[in-house]
Amino acid sequence: MNVDGKEMRPIWFDPDTETVRVIDQRWLPHELIIKDLTHVDEVIHAIREMVVRGAPLIGATGALGVYVILVQKGNRGMDDAWFSSQCDDLKNARPTATNLRWGVNRVQAKVMEKTSHETRIQAALDESLAIMEEEADNCRKIGTHGLELIRETADRNPGRPVNILTHCNAGWLACIEYGTATAPIYAAHDAGIPVHVWVDETRPLNQGARLTAWELGKHGVPHTVITDNAGGHLMQHGRVDLVIVGTDRTTRTGDVANKIGTYLKALAARDNDIPFYVALPASTFDWDLTDGIREIPIEERDPDEIRYVRGWHDDAMIQVRITPMDSPAANHAFDVTPARLVTGFITERGVCDASESAITALYADRFKN
Ligand code: MRU
Q: Express each pLDDT in 221-257 by its tens digit.
A: 999 999 999 999 999 999 999 999 999 999 999 999 9
The CA angle 82-83-85, to the nearest 5 degrees, is 65
- The per-residue pLDDT for 369 is 61
Largest CA distance in the chain: 64
| Ligand 1 residue neighbourhood (C-beta within 6 Å) | 53-56, 97, 168, 170, 174-175, 180, 207, 246-248, 258-259, 333
Statement: residue 4 has pLDDT above 90: no
Do you know the residue count of the chain? 369
Average pLDDT, the chain: 97
**Cβ-based neighbour number of residue 178 at 10 Å:** 23
- Yes or no: say if 150 and 161 are a contact pair by the CB < 8 Å rule: no
Chosen domain end from 78, 101, 134: 134
Distance from the alpha carbon of residue 168 to the mean position of ligand 1, in angstroms: 6
Statement: residue 361 has pLDDT above 70: yes
Average pLDDT of the residues in 185-193: 98
Please report, to the nearest 10 degrees, the dihedral formed by the alpha carbons of residues 286, 109, 362, 355 taken in order. Answer: -10
Chosen domain end from 85, 106, 134: 134
Average pLDDT of the residues in 113-141: 97
Helix axes 55-73, 117-156, angle to 10 degrees: 170
Q: Is residue 258 annotated as involved in ligand binding?
A: yes
Average pLDDT of the residues in 60-71: 98
Distance from the alpha carbon of residue 333 to the mean position of ligand 1, in angstroms: 10
Phi, psi of 364 (to 5 degrees): -55, -35
- The per-residue pLDDT for 367 is 81
Domain holding 274, by residue range, is: 143-363
- Yes or no: say if 36 and 13 are a contact pair by the CB < 8 Å rule: no
Buried-exposed string 97-130: b where 16+ CB fall within 10 A, e elsewhere = bbbbbbbbbbbbebbeebeebeebbbbbbebbbe
- The per-residue pLDDT for 315 is 84
Inside any domain, residue 369 = no
Q: How many domains does the chain have?
A: 2
Atom of ligand 1 nearest to the CA of 299: 1
Average pLDDT of the residues in 66-70: 98
Statement: residue 368 has pLDDT above 80: no
Inside any domain, residue 51 = yes
Helix axes 55-73, 98-112, angle to 10 degrees: 40
pLDDT digits (tens, 9 = 90+) for 306-352: 999 999 998 899 999 999 999 999 999 999 999 999 999 999 999 99
Q: Edge-to-edge strand order for the sheet containing 256-259?
A: 285-286, 249-251, 256-259, 334-337
Q: Is residue 55 annotated as involved in ligand binding?
A: yes
Provide the annotated active-site residues.
248
- The per-residue pLDDT for 1 is 87
Chosen domain end from 134, 169, 194: 134
Mutation probe of ligand 1 site: the residue of 53, 186, 286 with most atoms within 8 A of C-beta: 53
Statement: residue 47 has pLDDT above 70: yes
- % pLDDT > 90, the chain: 95
Average pLDDT of the residues in 33-52: 98
Strand partners, 316: 313
Is the ipTM value over 0.85, yes or no?
yes
- The per-residue pLDDT for 323 is 97
Q: Is residue 21 annotated as involved in ligand binding?
A: no
Distance from the alpha carbon of residue 171 to the mean position of ligand 1, in angstroms: 9
Atom of ligand 1 nearest to the CA of 53: 4
Q: Which amino acid appears at position 111 of this protein?
A: V
150 and 84 in a common domain: no
